[in-house]
Amino acid sequence: MDSLITHKCVPCEKGGLVATAEEIANFKRQVPDWEIVDVQGNQTLKREFRFKNFKQALAFVNRVGELAEAEYHHPTLVLGWGRVEVLWTTHKIKGLHKNDFSMAAKTDALV
């Protein structure tokens, strides 16, 4: 199985294919702490990270932002006191792609 952490995000085109159920099951094994949720009809990876305070949570948001810019794949980030919720999906294809699982793995590595 290819490592998601070494995968480089590839641009997705509108109308492109979402990950199959089999691919999702394989990718999910590499990011077990993430849940798959429905957000406005799109499958989305979601995880909440906990921190000691707002400053640490904000620093994590900034690290995720730098990663997102480097890979040109951007999450939804929800920042609160001592917590950050990260959501990855591919809006252009309205669902999950290998890129989302790769970014989840890379996000885990930032903690």
Query: Tens digit of pLDDT for each residue in 66-93?
Result: 999 999 999 999 999 999 999 999 999 9
Mean pLDDT, the chain, integer: 94
pLDDT tens digits, one per residue of 93-103: 999 999 999 99
Residues 46 and 52 sit within 8 Å (Cβ to Cβ): no
Average pLDDT over residues 35-61: 97
pTM over 0.75: yes
User: CB–CB of 64/77 below 8 Å?
Assistant: yes
Per-residue model confidence (pLDDT) at position 9: 87
Backbone angles phi, psi at 99, to 5 degrees: -55, -40
Look at residue 93 in the predicted model and tell me its pLDDT. 93
Mean pLDDT of 11-40: 92
**Predicted confidence band at 2 (pLDDT cuts at 50, 70, 90)?**
low
Residue 1 has pLDDT above 70, yes or no: no
Task: Indicate left, alpha or beta for 94 from its phi (over 0: left) and psi (-120 to 50: alpha).
Answer: left
Region 23-40 average pLDDT:
96
- Indicate if the alpha-carbon torsion angle 93, 13, 35, 78 is positive or negative: negative
CB 85 within 8 A of CB 46: yes
